[in-house]
Amino acid sequence: DIQLTQSPSSLSASVGDSVTITCRANQVISDSLSWFQQRPGKAPKSLMYGASKLHSGVPSKFKGSGSGTVFTLTISNLQPEDFATYFCLQYYRYPRTFGQGTKVEIK
Amino acid sequence: EVQLVESGGALVQPGGSLRLSCATSGFSPDWMDWVRQAPGKGLEWLANINVDGSEKYYVDSVRGRFTISRDNAKNSLYLQMDSLGAEDTAVYYCSKRLDFWGQGTLVTVSS
Protein backbone atom coordinates (compact mmCIF):
# COMPACT_ATOMS: atom_id res chain seq x y z
CA ASP A 1 0.00 0.00 0.00
CA ILE A 2 1.10 3.58 -0.61
CA GLN A 3 1.98 5.34 2.63
CA LEU A 4 1.44 9.08 3.08
CA THR A 5 3.27 10.92 5.82
CA GLN A 6 2.15 14.40 6.80
CA SER A 7 4.29 16.92 8.61
CA PRO A 8 3.94 18.44 11.02
CA SER A 9 1.36 16.42 12.95
CA SER A 10 0.19 19.64 14.56
CA LEU A 11 1.03 23.30 14.49
CA SER A 12 0.00 26.48 16.26
CA ALA A 13 -0.56 29.69 14.38
CA SER A 14 -2.22 33.05 14.82
CA VAL A 15 -5.08 34.60 12.88
CA GLY A 16 -3.61 36.18 9.76
CA ASP A 17 -0.63 33.81 9.56
CA SER A 18 0.21 31.55 6.64
CA VAL A 19 1.02 27.89 7.23
CA THR A 20 2.32 25.05 5.07
CA ILE A 21 1.60 21.36 5.49
CA THR A 22 3.65 18.71 3.70
CA CYS A 23 2.49 15.30 2.54
CA ARG A 24 5.09 12.77 1.40
CA ALA A 25 4.31 9.54 -0.43
CA ASN A 26 6.58 6.50 -0.22
CA GLN A 27 6.31 6.03 -3.99
CA VAL A 28 5.52 8.18 -7.00
CA ILE A 29 1.82 9.03 -7.26
CA SER A 30 1.97 11.58 -10.10
CA ASP A 31 -0.48 14.33 -9.07
CA SER A 32 -3.14 11.95 -7.76
CA LEU A 33 -3.49 13.69 -4.42
CA SER A 34 -6.38 15.40 -2.68
CA TRP A 35 -6.57 17.57 0.43
CA PHE A 36 -9.40 17.61 2.96
CA GLN A 37 -10.35 19.83 5.86
CA GLN A 38 -12.14 18.42 8.89
CA ARG A 39 -13.55 20.59 11.62
CA PRO A 40 -14.26 18.98 15.02
CA GLY A 41 -17.36 16.80 14.96
CA LYS A 42 -17.90 17.37 11.26
CA ALA A 43 -17.44 15.35 8.09
CA PRO A 44 -14.36 15.95 5.98
CA LYS A 45 -14.66 18.58 3.30
CA SER A 46 -12.78 18.24 0.04
CA LEU A 47 -10.51 21.20 -0.70
CA MET A 48 -8.66 20.17 -3.81
CA TYR A 49 -7.77 17.34 -6.14
CA GLY A 50 -5.03 16.76 -8.66
CA ALA A 51 -2.63 18.20 -6.09
CA SER A 52 -3.50 21.79 -6.91
CA LYS A 53 -7.02 22.09 -8.36
CA LEU A 54 -9.48 23.77 -6.05
CA HIS A 55 -12.97 22.36 -5.70
CA SER A 56 -15.81 24.72 -6.50
CA GLY A 57 -16.39 27.19 -3.70
CA VAL A 58 -13.04 26.69 -1.99
CA PRO A 59 -11.31 30.03 -1.51
CA SER A 60 -8.03 30.75 -3.25
CA LYS A 61 -6.31 31.18 0.12
CA PHE A 62 -5.81 27.41 -0.09
CA LYS A 63 -2.98 26.52 -2.43
CA GLY A 64 -1.71 23.07 -3.27
CA SER A 65 1.43 22.12 -5.09
CA GLY A 66 3.68 19.18 -5.80
CA SER A 67 3.95 16.10 -7.94
CA GLY A 68 5.62 12.76 -7.63
CA THR A 69 6.20 12.14 -3.95
CA VAL A 70 6.17 15.53 -2.20
CA PHE A 71 3.13 17.75 -1.91
CA THR A 72 2.28 20.87 0.06
CA LEU A 73 -0.85 22.64 1.20
CA THR A 74 -0.45 26.31 2.04
CA ILE A 75 -3.16 28.26 3.80
CA SER A 76 -2.86 32.03 3.74
CA ASN A 77 -4.35 34.61 6.06
CA LEU A 78 -5.60 32.08 8.61
CA GLN A 79 -9.08 32.82 9.90
CA PRO A 80 -10.86 31.21 12.87
CA GLU A 81 -12.78 28.85 10.56
CA ASP A 82 -9.51 27.51 9.13
CA PHE A 83 -8.41 26.01 12.43
CA ALA A 84 -9.11 22.35 11.76
CA THR A 85 -7.40 19.10 10.87
CA TYR A 86 -6.15 18.62 7.32
CA PHE A 87 -5.67 15.29 5.58
CA CYS A 88 -4.09 14.32 2.29
CA LEU A 89 -5.26 11.33 0.26
CA GLN A 90 -3.71 9.46 -2.67
CA TYR A 91 -5.90 8.00 -5.35
CA TYR A 92 -3.11 6.80 -7.62
CA ARG A 93 -3.51 3.22 -6.57
CA TYR A 94 -5.81 0.99 -4.53
CA PRO A 95 -6.30 0.97 -1.66
CA ARG A 96 -6.77 4.69 -1.36
CA THR A 97 -4.78 5.90 1.63
CA PHE A 98 -4.86 8.99 3.81
CA GLY A 99 -2.13 10.83 5.62
CA GLN A 100 -2.40 10.78 9.39
CA GLY A 101 -3.60 14.38 9.55
CA THR A 102 -2.25 17.77 10.59
CA LYS A 103 -4.08 19.69 13.29
CA VAL A 104 -3.90 23.45 12.89
CA GLU A 105 -4.54 25.13 16.23
CA ILE A 106 -4.86 28.70 17.36
CA LYS A 107 -1.81 30.07 19.10
CA GLU B 1 -27.68 20.20 -4.32
CA VAL B 2 -25.66 17.08 -3.59
CA GLN B 3 -26.85 15.31 -0.46
CA LEU B 4 -25.70 12.09 1.18
CA VAL B 5 -27.33 10.80 4.34
CA GLU B 6 -26.02 7.73 6.11
CA SER B 7 -28.10 5.57 8.42
CA GLY B 8 -27.95 2.22 10.13
CA GLY B 9 -25.26 2.85 12.69
CA ALA B 10 -25.84 1.12 16.01
CA LEU B 11 -24.35 -0.69 18.98
CA VAL B 12 -23.59 -4.26 17.93
CA GLN B 13 -21.93 -7.16 19.71
CA PRO B 14 -18.59 -8.56 18.59
CA GLY B 15 -19.07 -11.06 15.81
CA GLY B 16 -22.30 -9.42 14.77
CA SER B 17 -23.43 -7.87 11.51
CA LEU B 18 -24.78 -4.51 10.46
CA ARG B 19 -25.91 -2.94 7.21
CA LEU B 20 -25.30 0.73 6.61
CA SER B 21 -27.25 2.72 4.05
CA CYS B 22 -26.52 5.98 2.30
CA ALA B 23 -29.36 7.86 0.65
CA THR B 24 -28.21 10.14 -2.11
CA SER B 25 -29.75 12.97 -4.11
CA GLY B 26 -28.76 15.82 -6.36
CA PHE B 27 -26.47 13.97 -8.75
CA SER B 28 -26.37 11.24 -11.36
CA PRO B 29 -24.93 7.84 -10.43
CA ASP B 30 -21.21 8.10 -9.87
CA TRP B 31 -18.40 6.19 -8.17
CA MET B 32 -19.13 5.94 -4.46
CA ASP B 33 -16.87 5.33 -1.47
CA TRP B 34 -17.10 4.35 2.18
CA VAL B 35 -14.59 5.83 4.63
CA ARG B 36 -14.44 5.43 8.41
CA GLN B 37 -12.90 7.24 11.32
CA ALA B 38 -12.28 5.56 14.66
CA PRO B 39 -12.76 7.82 17.71
CA GLY B 40 -9.96 10.36 17.86
CA LYS B 41 -8.17 8.79 14.91
CA GLY B 42 -7.57 9.52 11.26
CA LEU B 43 -9.51 8.57 8.14
CA GLU B 44 -9.47 5.07 6.66
CA TRP B 45 -10.73 4.41 3.15
CA LEU B 46 -12.72 1.16 3.08
CA ALA B 47 -14.18 0.50 -0.33
CA ASN B 48 -15.62 1.94 -3.49
CA ILE B 49 -17.96 0.87 -6.27
CA ASN B 50 -18.45 1.97 -9.85
CA VAL B 51 -21.66 3.23 -11.42
CA ASP B 52 -23.22 -0.10 -12.34
CA GLY B 53 -21.77 -2.04 -9.43
CA SER B 54 -19.55 -4.22 -11.60
CA GLU B 55 -16.30 -2.98 -10.05
CA LYS B 56 -15.61 -2.98 -6.34
CA TYR B 57 -12.39 -2.35 -4.44
CA TYR B 58 -11.64 -2.90 -0.77
CA VAL B 59 -8.91 -2.25 1.75
CA ASP B 60 -7.41 -5.49 3.08
CA SER B 61 -8.66 -4.90 6.63
CA VAL B 62 -12.30 -5.33 5.55
CA ARG B 63 -12.08 -7.48 2.43
CA GLY B 64 -14.09 -10.65 2.94
CA ARG B 65 -16.04 -9.15 5.87
CA PHE B 66 -17.58 -6.02 4.31
CA THR B 67 -19.53 -5.81 1.06
CA ILE B 68 -20.29 -2.60 -0.78
CA SER B 69 -23.33 -2.46 -3.03
CA ARG B 70 -25.73 0.00 -4.56
CA ASP B 71 -29.25 0.34 -5.90
CA ASN B 72 -29.36 3.16 -8.43
CA ALA B 73 -33.14 2.92 -8.71
CA LYS B 74 -33.32 3.83 -5.03
CA ASN B 75 -30.38 6.27 -5.15
CA SER B 76 -28.80 4.29 -2.37
CA LEU B 77 -25.42 2.93 -1.38
CA TYR B 78 -24.93 0.15 1.15
CA LEU B 79 -22.21 -1.39 3.29
CA GLN B 80 -22.87 -4.85 4.67
CA MET B 81 -20.54 -5.46 7.60
CA ASP B 82 -20.06 -8.96 9.02
CA SER B 83 -17.82 -10.46 11.68
CA LEU B 84 -17.52 -7.13 13.40
CA GLY B 85 -14.84 -6.55 16.00
CA ALA B 86 -13.96 -3.75 18.40
CA GLU B 87 -11.55 -2.38 15.81
CA ASP B 88 -14.52 -1.60 13.57
CA THR B 89 -15.90 0.96 16.02
CA ALA B 90 -15.95 4.21 14.07
CA VAL B 91 -17.99 6.85 12.33
CA TYR B 92 -18.72 5.62 8.83
CA TYR B 93 -19.01 8.10 5.98
CA CYS B 94 -20.32 7.59 2.48
CA SER B 95 -18.93 9.80 -0.23
CA LYS B 96 -19.40 10.61 -3.88
CA ARG B 97 -15.94 10.18 -5.39
CA LEU B 98 -14.51 11.53 -2.12
CA ASP B 99 -15.70 14.97 -3.32
CA PHE B 100 -18.93 15.16 -1.34
CA TRP B 101 -19.47 13.48 2.01
CA GLY B 102 -22.36 12.56 4.25
CA GLN B 103 -22.46 13.48 7.92
CA GLY B 104 -21.55 9.98 9.06
CA THR B 105 -23.16 7.26 11.15
CA LEU B 106 -21.64 5.80 14.32
CA VAL B 107 -21.01 2.09 14.65
CA THR B 108 -20.01 0.82 18.07
CA VAL B 109 -18.90 -2.78 18.49
CA SER B 110 -19.01 -3.79 22.14
CA SER B 111 -20.44 -6.42 24.41
Q: Is the CB of residue A67 less than 8 Å from the CB of residue A13?
A: no
Q: N- to C-terminal Cα distance for chain A?
A: 36
Residues A60-86 have pLDDT tens digits of: 999 999 999 999 999 999 999 999 999
Distance of residue A10 Cα from the nearest chain B Cα, in angstroms = 13
pLDDT in tens, B3-49: 999 999 999 999 999 999 999 999 999 999 999 999 999 999 999 99
Q: What is the pLDDT of residues B49-78, one digit of tens each?
A: 999 999 999 999 999 999 999 999 999 999
A93: contact with B, CB 8 A cutoff: no
Q: Which residues of chain A have pLDDT under 50?
A: none
pLDDT of residue A42: 97
Instruction: Compare all CA atoms of chain B with the CA of A43 and give the residue at the minimum distance.
Output: B103
What is the pLDDT, as a whole number, of residue B41? 97
Q: Residue A39's pLDDT is what?
A: 97
